[in-house]
Structure 1
Amino acid sequence: MKRLFDGMVKMFRGMLLALLPATALSLYLFREKALFLILVGVSVAVFSEALFQFIFKRKYTFKDGGAVVTGLLLALSVSPSTPLYVLAISTAVGMIFGKHVFGGFPKNLFNPALFGRLFLVLAFPTAMTPWLSPVDLQSTATPLRVLRDTGSTSTSIWNLFIGNIGGSIGEVSALLLLVGGAYLIRNKYANWRIPAAVLSTMAVVAVLSGQNPLFHLFSGSAILGAFFMATDPVTSPKSDQGRWIFGIGVGFLIMAMRLWGWVPEGTTFAIIGMNYLVPFINTEMTRLKSPKAV
């Protein structure tokens, strides 16, 4: 258990370093709006975890950095116009229910940041509107909303890549998220097979649907989700084959939600849905590898 704890501490610290470029850009573009969201997300995540463990006399784990990562990820995944109380409630729900009630670390079934975001989307469906442009902080539509409303994918790929579009505060620049993702892969804090499967599946589905794959890869929370959320070692499969299956499922569900679902962005629903199937995937991969299955 100590080895697992030490490994998770190292991974959480690596994730914080990997998120620094996107976090810095969000602070530059959205200024105090991003600052307050990040402060609220991180502080509520740490406090709610410590409070839960104090009340139920559990071992304190907030010092491992996991709560900080969860709070930061959730803050980066919301609109700059999101009310602070909405983020605070959603973060507490993600930490308490997503992490501790449904399994408890390191057996939680769902990624806590995504669980909190799922709660936010369902409980406060209009809380993240209007979306703001990073150029002048004026109301704007996200590229995926434009796609849903008009069927157009005409948004500049370059603007999507560098971050000159409306969106959540931490996902506006695919470039900086890719830099952070490469850092995670290079230092083995994340398994490369999952983001590779997610993004390649999205690209294939986009091409088969007659749409620009780069538009779908660089818009919304695809990069953030593929590298920083789907790769969570606690809530993703243990085997390499399972990781490919998991990633393909996430990528397909993201595109299915974008093209045929009821919401413009499907990353949260896709990863949470595949998180639910991870125990089944692990069981089947173990069964197939056992001598009796041959």
Structure 2
Amino acid sequence: MLLIKAIAGLLVLGAMGGTAYLMKQYTGTVKDLPGTMMERQREIELSLKKKAEEGVRSDNEPGEKAFQRARELLAMESMAEAEEKLKYIVSFYPSAKSATEARHILGEINMDRLLDPEWKEGKRTITVQRGDSYSAIIRKNKTTMDSMTHLSKLRDTDARGLRPGQKLLVMPLDLRISIDLRRKNLTLWKEGDFVKEYPLLKVEYEHKGKDKHLQVGSIRGWYNDEYVSVHSPHYRAATKTIILSDKSLAIRALPSDPEQDLGRGFYLSPVDMEELPLVLRPGNDVEIKN
């Protein structure tokens, strides 16, 4: 028993001596070893722990690893895998730092496909029948003249130009709009899937209480301060306004003139307002969230 105690005592002294040596190497002193050493050791441990935690936080930022992997996959042109990573971030980490950029990239991919006549998913080719009209085709296929003109690369939108046997590419426009007043953005959704997010540059609208549910009422074009029909040759170059079912509200392009009076509604960039009307139609659901 005495031998065991003696060995234990030597081990303790050896440990203290080793610690004293290390403390001298790293702190420069062993003065007041028992108290000072323990205090400084505690400080070092806390410092190392803090650095370790900071490292863990930076490496494990929610969604960050998935986003970095998505960027690598995009660089390797592995689009399908990259999309899955981006969708994962948008769905499960919508507030993460990387989520904003993930939404931007995913939105560009989605919109490029929606507007690309060569991307056939979600689109179909129809054959014009005798007696068909543009309005009948649009109504039957839940689309718009603007979308059909773009996808079918039509030059003449006069109904008299329709020919039996003519092929037209149509895309049913079944998106819904969510306007988030707190986050100041407008998001397009297809059922439960994210499509694209647009920043609201200005909001001229106040609403308190429950979320408001409306629809797209109409989409109008203005050219040289005059309303132009969708069949007008000037329509493609016209400034578009999306009027909601509450006709006092609209989605518009923010004018460049800061002195111009603004109507009630939601303002996007002119570039975004060239794109958005191409994928919407009257009847699309609109939700305004506080």
Class of the TM-score when normalised by the shorter of the 2 chains: under 0.3
* Larger RCO of the pair (alpha carbons < 8 Å, separation 6+): 1
Larger Rg belongs to: 2
> TM-score, with normalisation over the residues of structure 2?
0.25
More helix by share: 1
> TM-score, with normalisation over the residues of structure 1?
0.25
